A and B are shown apart, each in its own frame.
Chain A
Amino acid sequence: TQLLEQSPQFLSIQEGENLTVYCNSSSVFSSLQWYRQEPGEGPVLLVTVVTGGEVKKLKRLTFQFGDARKDSSLHITAAQPGDTGLYLCAGADRGSTLGRLYFGRGTQLTVWP
Chain B
Amino acid sequence: GAVVSQHPSRVICKSGTSVKIECRSLDFQATTMFWYRQFPKKSLMLMATSNEGSKATYEQGVEKDKFLINHASLTLSTLTVTSAHPEDSSFYICSASSAGSYEQYFGPGTRLTVT
Contact = CB atoms under 8 A, between A and B. Distances in A.
Contacts of B6: 42
Q: Is the interface of B mostly helix, strand, loop or mixed?
A: strand
Interface residues of B, number: 27
Interface in B73-115: 91, 93, 95, 97, 101-109, 111
B27 to A, nearest CB: 14
Interface residues of A, number: 27
B46 interface: yes
A97 B42 contact: no
Contacts of B108: 41-42
Interface stretch (A56-64, A74-82, A101-109): A101-109
Contact of B42 (A45, A92, A98, A106): A106
Nearest to B97: A99
